[in-house]
Structure 1
Amino acid sequence: MQASQRIDKWLWYARITKSRTLAQKLAVSGHIRVNKEKVSASKHPIKVDDVLTIVLPRRLLVLKVQDLGTRRGPAPEAQGLYEDISPPPPPKEEAKQAERERGAGRPTKRERRQIVEFKRVKEIDPF
């Protein structure tokens, strides 16, 4: 087994990114830290027991390297390469449905149907 491995290869083997090219771009972009040090190149070496902090668009991943991969295998094999020690996501707030007074603002679909039905009946029987 190797003593170290390129970070872009490991990210691809661990299925953090969909392609090795995306792994290289992620490493170069500065969104990865290895043991609290910023990574600036895709060739940065990582070893077993390193802690990776990865900032993705909608989440923060903190991964402890358990093993260095030798291939991009199935997902269960990829999950064996790391231990996920990410903080839990913040609780989601329940979305409140907007409340409005009856007759205020745009009509709802139900109200539009009632208006159309009212106009139709009025055209047929004007009295």
Structure 2
Amino acid sequence: MKKIIASLAVATAVFAGGFTGESVNLASQKGGFIGNNIYSNLSVKEALSAKDNALVSLKGNITKQLRHDKYEFSDGKNSIVVEIDDDVWNGVTVGSNDTVEIKGEVDNDMLEKNQIDVKYITKIK
């Protein structure tokens, strides 16, 4: 049994090292795409007339809570309703004086003004 475990450990080390014999710490390797941002940086005025499902990034303040997950967001000139689900907050706590960046998707219902379905929120320091 010990020989099997030792053989598996050696095989794993060789495989993880790309067959070069190098030791690789897979947990420390992180990656992702580096390139153009898929979220368009817009003003609230632009977001109010953006197409449905457009991916947008806005900077400003959450000025007040309207309902459980609906808030008024302002860039200092215009305001828009944003929906922020509980799991999106991810531990971020903000007040009306805190500047935040929100990234989300435009929700364009025919009979209402555009709203933003927020996917990410970050407090800007």
TM range (shorter): under 0.3
More helix by share: 1
More strand by share: 2
Larger radius of gyration: 1
> TM-score, normalising length from structure 2?
0.21
> TM-score, normalising length from structure 1?
0.21
